[in-house]
């Protein structure tokens, strides 16, 4: 058995493709464009806000801000679109209402009307009986009280009722429909379970709307039908009352008198509101009765019921496409009186009261919000002044204001909705208003906060901004709590940054620091703090500017948890200028990419020190260790390229890698990094290090066995290619005379044979690689070398030594036997054929075709033939190759 | 075999000068021979005394003699003949006012009260000889005054101003109510067209005890001359809540009551009977005692109630 001698240089030249010079890089874009892009990035003006980063900042702030943004976008961007489709908006409003105040799963006990418990098994009476009884004596049912029903049942019963009403209507039993609807409306009188009210409201008004629509359609049909039932006209969209025949008017009147006969005030109002559009059949100005309804609503003393009743009113007014806001303004003014009353009730001594009051106000809040939105949707800029006047907030009504102070929560929602020009033009007045309206209904600091956000929407004049900011800063210096301080500061940071108010910036940072030091930072304050710090970071371009602000770093130190990480990440991000953020490994990724991008230039020692520090600081991030090893390897290569002066530095780098490597938990990664480091060590002439690393690599291969579970094919292929890479590395590694020249290949072969998870396919590939390695080592000139000056290759070390070649041949023989045996173990025919051909190719190109080799090869081809069709291209080309080799060797 | 009456107007409202029109619908599987189809209209005031303020004897005597407005006016729609099988519609029309002879009584408007019932009926009768039972059915129609007869004067827009305080109450009040006091003022129209709502307004100015409800009860006052005695009975027709709970003070609340049909009619002051209306404004104060009496008549004076009764003249306008 003799190895085939190779002339690698000649072979390379013979097989290389002819090369042609290209004018352009195939991947480069037209050069002019690249330049322009770079310019934009470098010279972007100060006011430019990256839209992606902007939204990211906002996403981090609290829910309240989201609401602000949301509502702003409704007013600003999609205002017109939503105007066109108020019903959709109403649906989504109701949904959000129910989400905000979900029905508790717990059991409710209350004097629930019988309609709600009707369907339950506890009653043996038939439903009709129940109805009759209820009609006769509605009081009785209320008295029984204390019935138990879960929130879920409550909602599903409401759904059932809707179906029942709809069903009765279409079965021409409109009286039942109306009766049930009245009962549903009566449910709204019960505010004993505060938390449930919004859900009840949403479902009940759904039913009201449905009834209103059905009545409208019915009367419309009557107006369009002749008495004999044939359609005689289409009612135009903009019909007037005189277009309507007396028959239809009669029906309409009937409906109104039926509703007028409802004893209780609240259901009467709701149903009249539901039928409000029907007034058009009777009168040309259907809104005339609205003023009366607004006044009637005053008769509802319960603050919650009356607030939601006004909410429904606002919805019904919008359905009419009315631009009249007089009624809504009256509503708001009545609201204020109502709220003042709620706020001023202090007579009860129970401690629970304030909690209850807070819940009540938070339940009422969406109604104020919606009504305010409705008002300002229809208001032109010129009208804003008169609207404010109507609400008692006009700028020239100072004396009125003192007498009739605005309720903070109303002010809040007003401030949310008024156009931003108005906010800016009368910013100081608003500040005074906020100052004077300080009550329990709403946190005053949130109004200051909102003002800040509103001011950010547009650029305003320096003077105003200065005055407002001075005033606000003056106010918040008196705040003792960190939370309220942060909330206000958060809103003004952007203004301060944009206007370069460095003094204020410093003072607020100091303010935050002193409060945070004395009280610590609570969980919920972290988010706001994070938002503030991130704003700072996104404003400054240079990290140094941030680091120069000592309070900033101190505050950062006081933070903890994810918020701190997020700020840290933003700092890292500033360094990397890499805005992509995807998954939960984000911090690790960012740190890793940051570390990999750090460059100390020629100060490689410091760079290595930095890596050491990173390893100490981020011991928990596994991801990072990989980066650290890579970085240190890169450093070593860099030093290598720099000449021979750095040999000890390279040693330190390798040592750093060696120390870091064992703690990498991902085994395939570890294996690859061992190989990489071994290669670097070899290039650095550190043969003993590379030997050690190769040993470690083989060891880690052995540990692989320990890993349990089925190995995925990708994984196995990865290991396979790593092993193949190891063989290619071994070509350069000088043989160790102590262990013998075939020490590593032998080790690997026995390793391969002992690993049960290795498939025959993998083994065949590995054995082929061993054969190739041995063939390569036998050459006079090795195909490639490490640095020839530092590391002597085997070619030079053992050249011509007969025992060396003998040992290689011996080893080869052993491997060949293994190879042939392994092929036969492969169960799949097709795979076995391919493997046989692969091995045949490998053997044929490695050896001179002696008798022994030829018989092995022809056996392998026979195996191939038996496993695949004779026309298989691989088989054909292999046979051709064999023939060629035999002929050429004969020629030689 | 069925017989049905269908009037030309869905709401069945006719004025005395108008023709009552409609169809007789006969459905039968076989043809029917008859001796004529006749339509009859009847109108009367039925007076009845039940309990209440009437004495035992009056109750026993029971019904006063009904007053006939229109006595069995009969018109033959078809002479004797045959009705074919299937559905047959026979139109009819008749005037209810007889121009030649004087009417027995005024055409009072239809009214369904507790003791007084003013009702107009139309009856169809198909007589089929002695061997068969005659087919007949009856239907009520509603009479409203002729426009021509109505007073042309507009309904007075004047409103009556009322004050309700602890001092205007003639019945005993809860002590803390009496001492603490309350003041509710308002105004209301006392003459009202039947087609318009009763309107007015009301303001709670002060109240020592929280208010639980403010309600407006529409009362009908029916009086019947029985012998030499006038029996009067008051009953609640409709209740409308104005305020639910302890409303904010000094806020004006509207009074707006749509008058129920059939249960109201123009105020009538005839010789043998009269129908009048009143409005009682009842303020219920929050009280533990009140809960025990929740089923009592809402217009009965109680310690926790304050009330004010106002007359209400109802008129039919053009």
Tokens representing A535? 């704003």
Q: At A586, is the secondary structure helix, strand, or coil?
A: helix
Task: Name residues whose C-beta falls within 8 Å of residue B52's C-beta, 6 or more positions apart in sequence.
Answer: B115, B231, B233
Say if strands B252-257 and B198-207 run parallel, antiparallel, or are unpaired: antiparallel
pLDDT of A65 over the 60 cut: no
Contact A298 B295 (CB under 8 A): no
Long-range contacts of B49-58 (CB under 8 A, 24+ apart): B49/B115, B49/B224, B49/B226, B49/B231, B49/B233, B50/B114, B50/B115, B50/B233, B52/B115, B52/B231, B52/B233, B53/B231, B53/B232, B53/B233, B54/B226, B54/B231, B54/B233, B58/B226, B58/B229, B58/B231
Pick the residue from chain B with its C-alpha nearest to A292: B254
The pLDDT confidence band at residue A268, using thresholds 50, 70 and 90, is very high
Is residue B261 within 8 angstroms of chain A, CB to CB? yes
Long-range contacts of A558-565 (CB under 8 A, 24+ apart): A558/A513, A558/A516, A558/A517, A558/A520, A558/A521, A559/A521, A559/A526, A559/A529, A559/A530, A560/A521, A560/A526, A561/A523, A561/A526, A563/A526, A563/A527, A563/A529, A563/A530, A564/A526, A564/A530
Please count the other Cβ atoms lying within 10 Å of the Cβ belonging to residue A531.
Answer: 24
Distance of residue B245 Cα from the nearest chain A Cα, in angstroms: 5
Determine the Cα–Cα distance for residues A188 and A311; give it in Å rounded to an integer: 13
Pick the residue from chain A with its C-alpha nearest to B200: A292
Note the pLDDT tens digit of each residue in A483-523: 888 888 888 888 888 888 888 888 888 888 888 888 888 88
The runs of H, that is alpha helices, within chain B are 56-61, 175-180, 288-292
Range with lowest mean pLDDT among A251-260, A882-891, B259-268: A882-891
The pLDDT confidence band at residue A227, using thresholds 50, 70 and 90, is low
ipTM of the complex: 0.89
pLDDT of A137 over the 50 cut: no
**A299 closest CB neighbour out of B242, B258, B259:** B242
Say if strands B305-315 and B198-207 run parallel, antiparallel, or are unpaired: unpaired
The pLDDT confidence band at residue A60, using thresholds 50, 70 and 90, is very low
Task: Name residues whose C-beta falls within 8 Å of residue A775's C-beta, 6 or more positions apart in sequence.
Answer: A3, A4, A6, A812, A845, A846, A847
Task: Name residues whose C-beta falls within 8 Å of residue A609's C-beta, 6 or more positions apart in sequence.
Answer: none
Is residue B240 within 8 angstroms of chain A, CB to CB? yes
Nearest Cα to Cα of residue A690 among A639, A744, A645: A744
Average pLDDT, chain A: 78
For residue A384, what pLDDT is reported?
Answer: 78
Mean pLDDT of A561-568: 81
Of A4-8, A208-212, A350-354, which has the strongest mean pLDDT?
A208-212
CATH topology of domain B159-315: Immunoglobulin-like (2.60.40)
A235 in Cβ contact with A223 (< 8 Å) = yes
pLDDT of A131 over the 50 cut: no
More confident call, A14 vs A133: A14
Percent of chain B that is helix, strand, coil (3-state, to 5): 5, 55, 40
The pLDDT confidence band at residue B102, using thresholds 50, 70 and 90, is low
* Per-domain residue ranges of chain B: 2-143, 159-315
More confident call, A734 vs A169: A169
Find which of B8, B216, B241, B284 to mutate to test the A interface (most A CBs within 10 Å of its CB): B241
A275 in Cβ contact with A250 (< 8 Å) = no
Contact A250 B261 (CB under 8 A): no
Find which of A223, A256, A299, A333 to mutate to test the B interface (most B CBs within 10 Å of its CB): A299
Note the pLDDT tens digit of each residue in A691-715: 889 988 888 888 775 554 555 555 7
Mean pLDDT of A55-82: 38
For residue B309, what pLDDT is reported?
Answer: 93
Mean pLDDT of A459-487: 85
Give the rounded percent of residues in chain A with a pLDDT score beyond 70: 81
More confident call, A371 vs A242: A371
Task: Name residues whose C-beta falls within 8 Å of residue A595's C-beta, 6 or more positions apart in sequence.
Answer: A611, A614, A624, A627, A628, A631
B167 in Cβ contact with B287 (< 8 Å) = no
Contact A301 B245 (CB under 8 A): yes
Note the pLDDT tens digit of each residue in B54-79: 555 555 555 567 888 877 778 888 88
For residue B218, what pLDDT is reported?
Answer: 94
Please count the other Cβ atoms lying within 10 Å of the Cβ belonging to residue A621.
Answer: 20
B8 in Cβ contact with B24 (< 8 Å) = no
The pLDDT confidence band at residue A134, using thresholds 50, 70 and 90, is very low
For residue A267, what pLDDT is reported?
Answer: 94
For residue A781, what pLDDT is reported?
Answer: 80
For residue A269, what pLDDT is reported?
Answer: 94
More confident call, B226 vs A259: A259
The pLDDT confidence band at residue A71, using thresholds 50, 70 and 90, is very low
Find which of B23, B89, B236, B253 to mutate to test the A interface (most A CBs within 10 Å of its CB): B253
For residue B98, what pLDDT is reported?
Answer: 65
Note the pLDDT tens digit of each residue in B10-41: 888 888 888 888 999 999 888 888 888 889 98
A119 in Cβ contact with A160 (< 8 Å) = yes
Contact A299 B214 (CB under 8 A): yes
Note the pLDDT tens digit of each residue in A652-701: 999 999 988 888 877 788 888 999 999 999 888 888 888 889 988 888 88
**Alpha-carbon distances of A560 from A76, A190, A543, A579, B139, rounded to whole Å:** 37, 46, 21, 23, 86
**Alpha-carbon distances of A345 from A332, A639, A707, B214, rounded to whole Å:** 20, 79, 70, 22
Say if strands A107-110 and B81-83 run parallel, antiparallel, or are unpaired: unpaired
Note the pLDDT tens digit of each residue in A174-217: 889 999 999 999 888 888 778 888 888 999 999 999 999 999 99
Q: At B284, is the secondary structure helix, strand, or coil?
A: strand
pLDDT of A647 over the 90 cut: no
For residue B295, what pLDDT is reported?
Answer: 67
Distance of residue B100 Cα from the nearest chain A Cα, in angstroms: 32
**Alpha-carbon distances of A192 from A195, A196, A303, B144, B244, rounded to whole Å:** 9, 9, 12, 47, 15
Determine the Cα–Cα distance for residues A545 and A531; give it in Å rounded to an integer: 18
Tokens 């109750």 belong to which residue? Answer: B59
For residue B241, what pLDDT is reported?
Answer: 93
* Residues of A whose CB is below 8 A from B257: 260
A contact set with B (CB within 8 A): 139, 143, 189, 247, 250, 256-257, 260-261, 263-266, 268, 292, 295-296, 298-302, 305, 334, 337-338, 341
Determine the Cα–Cα distance for residues A534 and A59; give it in Å rounded to an integer: 11
Contact A298 B247 (CB under 8 A): yes
Say if strands B268-269 and B116-126 run parallel, antiparallel, or are unpaired: unpaired
For residue A239, what pLDDT is reported?
Answer: 83
Find which of A144, A226, A298 to mutate to test the B interface (most B CBs within 10 Å of its CB): A298
Query: Are B2-143 and B159-315 the same fold in CATH?
Result: yes
Nearest Cα to Cα of residue A776 among A126, A7, A25, A210: A7
Distance of residue A337 Cα from the nearest chain B Cα, in angstroms: 8
A658 in Cβ contact with A689 (< 8 Å) = yes
Exposure b/e, A793-815, CB count within 10 A at least 16 = b: bbbeebeeeeebbebbbebbeeb
For residue A141, what pLDDT is reported?
Answer: 42
Is residue B21 within 8 angstroms of chain A, CB to CB? no
Determine the Cα–Cα distance for residues A24 and A843; give it in Å rounded to an integer: 43
Give the rounded percent of residues in chain A with a pLDDT score beyond 90: 10
Contact A337 B248 (CB under 8 A): yes
DSSP state string for A158-226: HHHHHHHHHHHHHTT-HHHHHHHHHHHHHHTT--SSGGGHHHHHHHHHHHHHHHHHHHHHHHHHHHHB-
pLDDT of A257 over the 50 cut: yes
* Residues of B whose CB is below 8 A from A338: 248
Is residue B281 within 8 angstroms of chain A, CB to CB? no
* Residues of A whose CB is below 8 A from B218: none
Q: Indicate the burial class of B3 (C-beta count within 10 angstroms; 0-12, 13-18, 19 or more).
A: buried
pLDDT of A45 over the 70 cut: no
pLDDT of A38 over the 60 cut: no
Distance of residue B253 Cα from the nearest chain A Cα, in angstroms: 6
Contact A292 B242 (CB under 8 A): no
| DSSP-derived secondary structure letter, A458 | S
Determine the Cα–Cα distance for residues B53 and A25; give it in Å rounded to an integer: 114
Please count the other Cβ atoms lying within 10 Å of the Cβ belonging to residue A409.
Answer: 26
Nearest Cα to Cα of residue B33 among B135, B138, B124: B135
Nearest Cα to Cα of residue A676 among A627, A603, A619: A627
Say if strands B2-7 and B211-226 run parallel, antiparallel, or are unpaired: unpaired
pLDDT of B205 over the 90 cut: yes
Triad A69, A71, A77: Cα angle to 5° = 85
The CATH code for residues B2-143 is 2.60.40.640
For residue A237, the number of C-alpha atoms closer than 13 Å in the C-beta half-sphere is 2
Check residue A240 and give left, alpha or beta (phi > 0: left; psi -120 to 50: alpha).
Answer: beta
Between A and B, how many CB-CB pairs are < 8 A? 73
pLDDT of A622 over the 70 cut: yes
Q: In sequence order, what are the beta bridge partners of B257?
A: B198
Find which of A301, A310, A344 to mutate to test the B interface (most B CBs within 10 Å of its CB): A301
For residue A852, what pLDDT is reported?
Answer: 84
The pLDDT confidence band at residue A788, using thresholds 50, 70 and 90, is low
Please count the other Cβ atoms lying within 10 Å of the Cβ belonging to residue A632.
Answer: 27
Q: Indicate the burial class of A544 (C-beta count within 10 angstroms; 0-12, 13-18, 19 or more).
A: exposed
Is residue B57 within 8 angstroms of chain A, CB to CB? no
Distance of residue B103 Cα from the nearest chain A Cα, in angstroms: 30
A787 in Cβ contact with A737 (< 8 Å) = no
Range with lowest mean pLDDT among A58-67, A666-675, B254-263: A58-67
**pTM assigned to the model:** 0.66
Contact B244 A337 (CB under 8 A): no
Note the pLDDT tens digit of each residue in A388-420: 777 766 554 443 344 456 778 888 888 888 888
Contact B258 A261 (CB under 8 A): yes
B315 in Cβ contact with B155 (< 8 Å) = yes
Mean pLDDT of A541-554: 78
The pLDDT confidence band at residue B201, using thresholds 50, 70 and 90, is very high
The values of phi and psi at residue A837, to 5°, are -65, -40
More confident call, A718 vs A109: A718
For residue A274, what pLDDT is reported?
Answer: 93
């Amino acid at each position: 058995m003799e190895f085939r001698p190779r002339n690698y240089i000649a072979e390379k030249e013979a097989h290389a493709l002819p090369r042609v010079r290209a004018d352009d890089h195939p991947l480069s874009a037209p050069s002019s464009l690249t330049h322009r892009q770079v310019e934009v990035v470098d010279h972007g003006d100060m006011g430019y806000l990256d839209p992606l980063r902007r939204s990211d900042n906002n996403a981090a702030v609290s829910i309240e801000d989201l609401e602000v943004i949301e509502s702003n976008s409704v007013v600003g961007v999609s205002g017109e679109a939503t105007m066109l489709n108020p019903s959709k908006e109403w649906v989504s409003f109701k949904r959000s209402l129910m989400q905000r105040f979900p029905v508790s799963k717990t059991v409710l006990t209350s004097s629930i009307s019988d309609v709600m418990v009707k369907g339950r098994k506890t009653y043996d009476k038939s439903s009709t009986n129940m109805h009759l009884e209820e009609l006769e004596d509605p009081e009785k049912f209320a008295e029984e009280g204390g019935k138990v029903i879960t929130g879920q049942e409550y909602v599903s019963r409401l759904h059932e009722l809707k179906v029942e009403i709809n069903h009765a209507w279409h079965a021409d039993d409109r009286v039942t429909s109306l009766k049930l609807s009245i009962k549903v409306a009566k449910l709204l009188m019960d505010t004993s379970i505060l938390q449930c009210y919004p859900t009840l409201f949403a479902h009940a008004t759904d039913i009201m709307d449905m009834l209103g629509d059905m009545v409208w359609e019915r009367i419309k049909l009557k107006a369009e039908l002749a008495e004999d039932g044939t359609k005689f006209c289409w009612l135009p969209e903009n019909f007037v009352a005189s277009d309507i025949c007396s028959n239809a008017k009669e029906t309409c009147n009937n409906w109104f008198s039926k509703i007028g006969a409802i004893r209780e005030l609240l259901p009467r109002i709701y149903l009249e509101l539901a039928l409000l559009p029907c007034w058009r059949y009777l009168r040309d100005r259907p809104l005339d009765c609205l003023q009366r309804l607004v006044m009637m609503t005053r008769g509802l003393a319960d603050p919650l019921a009356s607030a939601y009743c006004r909410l429904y009113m606002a919805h019904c007014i919008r359905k009419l496409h009315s631009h009249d806001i007089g009624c809504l303004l009256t509503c708001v003014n009545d609201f204020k009186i109502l709220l003042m009353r709620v706020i001023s009730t202090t007579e009860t001594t129970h401690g629970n009261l304030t909690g209850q009051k807070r819940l009540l106000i938070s339940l009422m809040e969406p109604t104020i919000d919606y009504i305010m939105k409705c008002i300002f949707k229809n208001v032109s800029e010129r009208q804003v002044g008169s609207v404010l006047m109507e609400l008692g907030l006009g700028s020239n009504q100072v004396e009125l204001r003192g007498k009739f102070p605005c309720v903070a929560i109303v002010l809040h929602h007003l401030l949310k909705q008024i156009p931003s020009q108005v906010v800016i033009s009368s910013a100081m007045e608003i500040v005074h208003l906020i100052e004077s309206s300080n009550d329990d209904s709403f946190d005053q600091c949130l109004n200051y906060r909102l003002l800040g956000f509103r001011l950010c929407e547009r650029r305003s004049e320096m003077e105003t901004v200065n005055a407002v900011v001075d005033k606000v800063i003056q106010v918040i210096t008196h705040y003792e709590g960190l939370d309220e301080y942060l909330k206000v500061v958060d809103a003004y940071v952007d203004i301060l940054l944009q206007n370069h108010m460095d003094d204020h910036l410093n003072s607020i940072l100091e303010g935050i620091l002193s409060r945070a030091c004395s009280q610590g930072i609570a969980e919920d304050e972290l988010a706001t703090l994070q938002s503030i710090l991130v704003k700072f970071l996104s404003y400054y371009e240079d990290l140094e500017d941030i680091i120069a602000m000592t309070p900033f770093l101190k505050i950062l130190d006081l933070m903890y948890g994810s918020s701190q990480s997020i700020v840290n990440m933003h700092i890292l991000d500033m360094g990397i200028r890499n805005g992509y953020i995807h998954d939960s490994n984000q911090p690790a990724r960012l740190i890793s990419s940051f570390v990999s991008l750090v460059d100390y230039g020629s100060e490689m020692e410091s760079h290595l020190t930095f890596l050491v520090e990173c390893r100490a600081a981020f011991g928990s991030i596994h991801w990072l260790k990989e980066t650290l090893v890579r970085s240190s390897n890169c450093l070593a290569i860099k030093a290598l390229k720099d000449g021979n002066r750095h040999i000890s530095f390279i040693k330190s780098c390798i040592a750093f890698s060696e120390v870091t490597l064992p703690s990498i938990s991902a085994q395939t990664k570890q294996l690859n990094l061992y190989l990489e480091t071994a290669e670097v060590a070899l290039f650095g002439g550190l043969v003993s290090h590379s030997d050690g690393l190769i040993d470690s690599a083989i060891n880690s291969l052995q540990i692989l066995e320990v890993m349990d579970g089925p190995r995925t094919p990708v994984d196995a292929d990865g290991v396979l290619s790593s092993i193949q890479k190891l063989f290619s590395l071994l070509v350069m590694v000088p043989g160790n005379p102590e262990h013998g020249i075939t020490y590593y290949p032998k080790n690997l072969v026995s390793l391969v044979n002992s690993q049960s998870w290795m498939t025959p396919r993998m083994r065949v590939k590995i054995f082929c690689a061993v054969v190739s390695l041995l063939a390569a080592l036998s050459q006079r000139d090795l195909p490639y070398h490490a640095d020839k000056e530092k590391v002597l290759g085997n070619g030079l070390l053992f050249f011509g030594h007969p025992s060396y070649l003998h040992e290689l041949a011996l080893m080869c023989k052993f491997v060949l036997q293994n190879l042939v045996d392994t092929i036969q173990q492969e169960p799949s025919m097709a795979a076995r054929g391919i493997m046989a051909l692969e091995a045949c190719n490998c053997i044929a190109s490695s050896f001179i075709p002696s008798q022994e080799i030829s018989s092995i090869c022809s056996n392998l081809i026979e195996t191939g033939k038996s496993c695949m069709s004779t026309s298989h291209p691989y088989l054909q080309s292999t046979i051709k190759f064999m023939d060629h080799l035999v002929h050429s060797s004969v020629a030689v | 075999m069925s017989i049905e009456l269908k009037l030309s107007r869905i709401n069945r409202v006719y004025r005395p000068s108008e023709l009552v029109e409609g169809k007789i619908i006969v459905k039968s599987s076989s043809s029917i021979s008859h001796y004529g189809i006749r339509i009859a209209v009847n109108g009367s005031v039925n007076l009845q005394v039940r309990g209440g303020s009437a004495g035992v004897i009056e109750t026993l005597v029971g019904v006063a003699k009904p007053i006939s407005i229109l006595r069995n006016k009969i018109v033959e729609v078809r002479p004797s003949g045959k009705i074919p099988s299937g559905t047959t519609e026979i139109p009819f029309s008749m005037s209810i006012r007889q121009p030649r002879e004087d009417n027995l009584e005024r055409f009072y408007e239809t009214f369904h009260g507790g003791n007084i019932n003013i009702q107009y009926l139309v009856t169809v009768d198909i007589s089929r000889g002695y061997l068969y039972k005659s087919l007949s059915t009856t239907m009520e129609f509603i009479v409203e005054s002729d426009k021509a007869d109505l007073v042309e004067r507009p309904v007075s827009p004047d409103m009556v101003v009322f004050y309700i305080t602890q001092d205007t109450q003639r019945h005993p009040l809860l002590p803390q109510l009496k001492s603490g006091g309350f003041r509710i003022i308002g105004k209301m129209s006392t003459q009202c067209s039947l087609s318009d709502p009763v309107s007015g307004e009301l303001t709670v100015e002060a109240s020592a005890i929280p208010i639980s409800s403010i309600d407006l009860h529409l009362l009908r006052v029916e009086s019947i001359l029985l012998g030499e005695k006038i029996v009067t009975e008051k009953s609640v027709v409709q209740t409308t809540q104005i305020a639910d709970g302890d409303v904010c003070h000094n806020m004006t609340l509207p009074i707006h009551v749509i008058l129920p049909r059939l249960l109201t009619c123009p105020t009538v002051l005839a010789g043998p009977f009269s129908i009048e209306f009143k409005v009682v404004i009842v303020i219920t104060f929050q009280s533990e005692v009140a809960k025990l009496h929740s089923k009592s008549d809402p217009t009965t004076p109680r310690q926790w109630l304050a009330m004010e009764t106002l007359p209400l003249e109802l008129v039919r306008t053009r």
